[in-house]
Structure formats: C-alpha cells, structure tokens
C-alpha cells in the first residue's frame, strides 16, 4: 500500500519510525528498500528528532565488561523505556580495552581511550558509520577535560581537549594547560590559547546554542588561581571561552553540582546532604536573573536496587564525586510529558512526576548491573559527514 502513496508522504511516515524499525522494513520489498535508501530520508527523519523522547546510551564500565548498550524509548505513556536494551559495537580499538564517552550530538557519539585518550572515534552507533580521529599529542601526568559538539551556524562538528601536564621540579608542582580543537573532516588538531582555569575532568554533557559547558574543578593539586566554582562555556563557532553566571543556590562545590540541558535550557542539578536534589534552569541564556529553581526532588530509594546498593545509598554522601556522575542521583533528561528521568547509583532508573511529586521505578529487562547513562537522540547519518 505504501507504494501507492506520494513519495514525500511515504518518507514522512517512515521518518516517524525508530531506526531499529527502519533496519527491519528495508527487507520487506524493493519499494521499501528504495525508500530507506532515499537521500531525503535522513533530512526528514532528523527534522522529527526534537519531537521524540531521547533514547539512552548505557556505558557499562565494570572491569573486563566495558560495553555499550542502547535503550530505545517506546514513547508510550505507560511503557516508557520498556524495550529490552541492545548491545552496541563500540568499534574503538583501545590499548587497554577501556574507553569513555566524550559526548553525544545529533545521533553521533564520540569515544576515547580511557587511559591515553588516544585513539578517539566519532560514530553513529545505530547505523555503524565510524570516523577514526587523528591522534593528538600526549602528555605525561596529565588531566584531560573533553567535549564533543556541533554548531548549527557553521554546520561543523568539533572535538575539544583541554590538557593539563604536571611537572615536578625540586619538589615543586607546576601545571601547564594545552587546549586543542579538531574539526571533523580535517586531519590535524589545532592549538588555541590556553585557559587559566582547571575544568572538571568529566566530559561536558551540556551542549547548548553551539557551545559546550563545564564547571571549574576545585582540586587541591590545581595550580591555577581563581575564587570558587565557575561555569565556563566554549563557543564552537568563534572558539572562545566565556563565563556563565551561576545560579543563586547557596554554597556550591564541583562535587555536588552538575550541568545538563533540560528543555532547551542550561540547567544545574544540585545534590544536598539530605539526599534531595534541586534543579535550576536558566530560562534566558547568559542572564543571571533568569536562573529559576524549577524542581525540588526529595530523597528516594529505588526498590530495584539490590540490598548492598540500597545500603550504600542510605549512608552515601550525595555530594561525593564519582567518575561519570557527581552523586547518588543523576538527572538524565525531561520527557515530552514533563516527567523527569533519574538514575540512582549507576543502576536504577526512576521516573519523577513533578506535578504529583510521585516516583515510579522502571523495570527494564537486560540492563547491565553497573552503568553510566547519557541521553541520545537517534539520527540517520548524512553521507557528507562520512565522505569528509
């Protein structure tokens, strides 16, 4: 029947299906196969991306179990994230078989070797397209802040690395920063002016308005001056840094403060010692007075946590920093219906309804026991990206 429809209508119908369905229907008949190969389909498909709830990339980084998974959102009101997780081939040849997610953008993810941060790749995990990035300079005793993003004006994807090399001379520590940028499609990393601040080593999860955002690190070993915590943005078009005003939410520290984009707003999730979480959103980008405390989420213990994890949650310090997420609770995303998806202790998903303030534990088959999560909007790759 679909062959009797105008081609643009048929493509619009297919563009509303998840990528996993497109992978299956291409084998139905020649007509459907031809539609899935139409060069207009990625454009139409990606145009609907903002109307979908995001999928989830799960990174299980347990010892000898470094694996990626994808969890598709079923978009059903009562069946949110009810599908079984799918294993993803990371396609990264890491020296120690350990890698980390640098970022997710427009259906692409960037992965880096967890020890040396070389090699690095950018891939579409659902279509299998992969770009291996040129190797960058390595430094001994270095700390690295990473980011991956896209600017809609320049239509360029960029990967950034801010490295801190540590030198010890006669017992005196000194630290030198080196900022590097790679534009996808080019063959060399470019050095930019160094930033006299130490950024949080966790990769930037907040890409908004073509800019990456980090918080500054407060570490006893840092050699850079500067009062307290700051939010720093890096514009991917003009390649400049900018300080973003903080919300007025009291005393802050990098260990209890995490940036995320919620509802197209730069947001800050602040964990408190009593286990509660505040979510502040900047309604007008760059304007300090536009920070609003939108949500206060009380302490909660998911029933799906095993007894050991539940016991740890009871006595855990929510402000204690971990490798990927700052505390016990991670704010993953806000769904189309206004419900907030939370992750507890790197293992349990919970939906929080801010209207009735109720929690709902999600039971998802096939989840790994220990994993980090990033929201991931599915996309069909543009051929031009991979040709470049």
**pLDDT tens by residue, the chain, 388 residues:** 666 677 777 777 776 776 667 666 766 777 777 777 666 766 666 666 667 788 898 888 765 567 888 888 766 545 577 667 788 877 666 655 677 889 998 889 998 877 777 778 898 887 778 888 988 766 555 667 889 999 989 989 999 988 776 667 666 666 677 788 999 989 899 988 777 667 766 778 899 999 999 988 655 444 444 456 788 999 999 999 899 998 887 655 545 778 999 989 999 998 887 888 999 999 999 999 999 999 999 999 888 776 555 444 444 434 333 345 556 889 999 998 899 999 998 888 999 999 999 999 988 888 887 788 989 887 776 555 555 5
Tell me: domain 1-47, CATH 1.20.1280, correct? yes
Residues 49, 382: Cα–Cα separation, whole Å: 14
In whole angstroms, what is the distance from residue 253 CA to residue 70 CA?
A: 32
Helix, strand, coil percentages for the chain (3-state, nearest 5): 15, 40, 45
> Would you list the domain boundaries of the chain?
1-47, 89-238
Q: What distance in Å separates the CA atoms of residue 64 and residue 59, rounded to the nearest whole number?
A: 13
Look at residue 59 in the predicted model and tell me its pLDDT.
86
Q: What is the DSSP string of 170-227?
A: TTEEEEEEEEEEEEBTBSS-EEEPPPSSPBPSSPP-EEETTEEEEEB---TT-----S
Q: How distant, in Å, are the alpha carbons of 35, 175, 375, 379 from that of 22?
A: 10, 50, 21, 12
pTM: 0.81
């Amino acid at each position: 029947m679909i062959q009797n429809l105008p081609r643009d209508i048929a493509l619009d119908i297919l563009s509303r299906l998840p990528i996993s369905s497109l992978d299956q229907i291409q084998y139905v008949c020649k007509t459907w196969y031809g539609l899935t190969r139409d060069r207009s389909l990625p454009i139409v498909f990606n145009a609907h991306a903002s109307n979908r709830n995001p999928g989830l990339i799960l990174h299980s980084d347990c010892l000898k179990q470094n694996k990626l998974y994808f969890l598709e959102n079923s978009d059903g009101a009562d069946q949110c994230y009810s599908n079984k997780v799918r294993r993803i081939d990371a396609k990264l040849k890491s020296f120690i078989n350990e890698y980390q997610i640098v970022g997710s953008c427009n259906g692409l993810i960037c992965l880096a070797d967890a020890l040396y941060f070389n090699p690095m790749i950018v891939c579409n995990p659902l279509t299998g397209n992969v770009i291996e990035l040129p190797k960058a300079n390595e430094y001994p005793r270095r700390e690295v802040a990473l980011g991956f993003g896209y600017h809609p004006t320049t239509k360029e994807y960029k990967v950034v690395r801010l490295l801190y090399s540590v030198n010890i001379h006669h017992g005196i520590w000194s630290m030198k920063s080196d900022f590097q940028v790679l534009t996808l499609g080019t063959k060399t990393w470019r050095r930019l002016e160094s930033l006299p601040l130490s950024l949080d080593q966790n990769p930037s999860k907040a890409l908004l308005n073509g800019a990456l955002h980090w918080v500054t690190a407060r570490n006893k070993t840092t050699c850079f001056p500067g009062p307290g915590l700051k939010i720093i943005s890096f514009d991917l078009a003009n390649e400049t840094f900018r300080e973003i005003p903080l919300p007025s939410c009291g005393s802050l520290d990098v260990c209890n403060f995490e940036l995320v984009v919620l509802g197209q707003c730069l947001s800050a999730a602040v964990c408190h010692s009593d286990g509660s979480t505040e979510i502040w959103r900047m309604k007008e980008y760059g304007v300090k007075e536009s920070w609003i405390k939108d949500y206060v989420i009380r302490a909660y213990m998911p029933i799906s946590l095993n007894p050991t994890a539940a016991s740890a949650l009871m006595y855990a310090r929510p402000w204690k920093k971990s490798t990927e997420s700052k505390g016990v609770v991670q704010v993953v995303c806000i769904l189309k219906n206004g419900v907030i998806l939370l992750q507890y202790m790197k293992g349990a998903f919970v939906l929080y309804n801010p209207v009735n303030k109720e929690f709902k534990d999600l039971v998802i088959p096939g989840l790994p026991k220990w994993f980090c999560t990033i929201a991931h909007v599915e996309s069909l790759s543009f051929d031009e990206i991979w040709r470049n």
